[in-house]
Amino acid sequence: MKNRRKILSALALLATLAFTPLARAEDEPPDQLVKNVTLEVVDLIAKDKEIRSGNRAKLIGLIDAKVLPHFNFSAMTALALGQSWNKATPEQKKRLTEEFRTLLVRTYASALAAYSDQKFDFRPLRAKPTDTDVTVQVRVLQAGAQPVPIDYSMEKTAGGWKVYDVMVGGVSLVANYRTEFNNVVRESGIDGLVKNLAAKNRSLDAPAPAK
């Protein structure tokens, strides 16, 4: 019994050693990726006095560098638009994706700015190694309240695992934009939606009104 366990752990060690040199960022398992990026970003913010005292441009820069590479924005935009996506021209698709990305980054920055030392519970991934579409679950723990679940829907691509939807407390970000987007498209077409998003982004870049 004892011997068998020894052999097994030796084998496991060997396997780890054998495969480690091959592991690149692209091969990082999705749950590990989410954990590393989350902890890295939170740590960078904690260390950065300027960001903590409200330097939004710097926070957005940090998100651009650390978080954005792991998102598939054209997939998110396509899912949020539903059928209208297929009717859009390549140029419209490009502009929609750009504007939607900008909006999501602004929103994400606000969410991060509100972060205050909550603890994370990274759930073990329940997926087969062959799966190419998984949900990575994280829970944000806070005193005296139910933990807030954050689920990342991720898809395996040539460039590593990419997020294509985020669910916060059971609310899918992509699904939540679908009605809004479709309402605007129905009223003023895809160009109308591009304009609408661009105007929204400009209003967010303007200095926030004192409240």
Partner 1 sequence: MRQGIALAALAAALGGCASTADRDPRDPLEPLNRSIYRFNDKVDTVIAQPVARTYRKVVPGEVRDRVRNFFGNIGDFFIGVNNFLQGKFEEGVGDWARVAFNTTVGLFGIHDVASDMGYEKHNEDFGQTFGRWGARPGPYLVLPFLGSSDLRDGIGTGLDIYTDPLGEVRPYHLEYGLWGLRLTQTRADLLDASRILEEAALDKYVFQRDAYLQRRRSLVYDGHPPREKEPEDEEPKKNP
Beta-sheet strands, E only, within the chain: 119-122, 133-141, 148-157, 160-168, 171-172
Out of 34, 81, 154, 190, the only residue in the binding site for partner 1 (CB under 8 A) is: 81
Does 53 sit near partner 1 (CB under 8 A)? no
How many CB atoms within 10 Å of residue 91? 9
Out of 29, 149, 160, 189, the only residue in the binding site for partner 1 (CB under 8 A) is: 149
DSSP-assigned beta bridge partners for residue 135 = 153
- Judged by CB under 8 A, the stretch of 23-31, 42-50, 53-61, 139-147 that binds partner 1 is 139-147
Out of 134, 154, 163, 184, the only residue in the binding site for partner 1 (CB under 8 A) is: 184
| Strands 160-168 and 133-141, bridge-based pairing | unpaired
How many Å apart are CA 201 and CA 109, to the nearest integer? 13
Residue-wise burial string across 191-209, b where 16 or more C-beta atoms lie within 10 A, e elsewhere: eebbebbeeebeeeeeeee
Does 89 sit near partner 1 (CB under 8 A)? no
Does 204 sit near partner 1 (CB under 8 A)? yes
How many Å apart are CA 128 and CA 126, to the nearest integer? 7
DSSP state of 119: E
Using the minimum distance from each CB to partner 1, give the nearer residue, 62 or 164.
164
Using the minimum distance from each CB to partner 1, give the nearer residue, 21 or 144.
144
DSSP state of 206: S
Does 69 sit near partner 1 (CB under 8 A)? no
Does 138 sit near partner 1 (CB under 8 A)? no
How many Å apart are CA 183 and CA 189, to the nearest integer? 9
Using the minimum distance from each CB to partner 1, give the nearer residue, 9 or 64.
64
Does 68 sit near partner 1 (CB under 8 A)? no
Does 179 sit near partner 1 (CB under 8 A)? yes
How many Å apart are CA 148 and CA 112, to the nearest integer? 14
Residues interacting with partner 1, by CB under 8 A? 72, 74-75, 78-79, 81-83, 85-86, 93, 103, 106-107, 110-111, 114, 116, 143-147, 149, 155, 157, 164, 169-172, 175-181, 183-184, 196-197, 200, 204, 211
